[in-house]
Amino acid sequence: MGYCNGNEPQAKDLAQDVFVKVWDNLKTFRKDSSISTWIYRITVNTCLVHIREAKKLKFSKKLPIDLESKFEIVKENQENRFQQLYKCINKLTADNKAIILLELEGLQQKEIAEVMGLKHEAVRVRIHRIKKELTKCVKQ
């Protein structure tokens, strides 16, 4: 969702592309890493290729259905906050965007390092910096 600025149909299309690649490459999975890390790698790389279509990405005007029903009263406020959050994530570089989205998804820093091909320490430092940057941007 983060890569698609909350646009659910685009997120679904992207998810479908990821699973097509997983399906196609399943025989090449060597169990060097866990299957989840392997799938996350394919996901991040598919999203990276997707930036070619970045111009077509529009901010979603609607909240995900679940959220809409849960917070009917504060809908507008929530909508603005989400749009602001997506906007701030979108301002990050491709690497930083991938790292923070993986962090938001709850991945361990070690796993993020494996997905990104970076050292654990480098990821730790970067996450600290991106968190600060993102918080500052969202507050504005």
Partner 1 sequence: MKNFEDIKAQWENQGDIKPPVNGIETIINKTNALKNGQRITNSILAVTAGLLIIFFFYVKAYLEVKATIALSLMILVIFIRIALEIISLNTLKHINFAEDNQRFKNRLLRYYKKRLRTHYIFTPIILLFYIVGFVMLMPYFKMSLSKGFYTYIQISGCVIISVGLFLLFKVIKKELLSIKQLMN
Binding site for partner 1 (CB under 8 A): 1, 8, 11-12, 15-16, 19-21, 23-25, 28-29, 38, 41-42, 44-46, 48-49, 51-52, 54, 64-67, 70, 81-82, 85, 93-95, 98, 104, 114-118, 131, 134-135, 138-139
**Min dist. Cβ of residue 134 to partner 1 (A):** 6
**Min dist. Cβ of residue 53 to partner 1 (A):** 10
Token output for 121: 């320490």
Burial state string for 48-60 with b = 16 or more CB within 10 A and e = fewer than 16:
eebeeeeeebeeb
Query: 65 vs 73, which CB is nearer to partner 1?
Result: 65
Main-chain phi, psi angles of 72, to 5 degrees: -55, -45
Token output for 135: 């918080």
**Min dist. Cβ of residue 8 to partner 1 (A):** 6
Of 97, 85, 94, residue with least CA distance to 130: 97
- Cβ-Cβ contacts under 8 Å for 103 (sequence gap 6 or more): 109, 112, 127, 130, 131
Query: 58 vs 80, which CB is nearer to partner 1?
Result: 80
**Min dist. Cβ of residue 140 to partner 1 (A):** 11
Query: 11 vs 109, which CB is nearer to partner 1?
Result: 11
Whole-angstrom distance, CA of residue 138 vs CA of residue 136: 6
Query: 12 vs 58, which CB is nearer to partner 1?
Result: 12
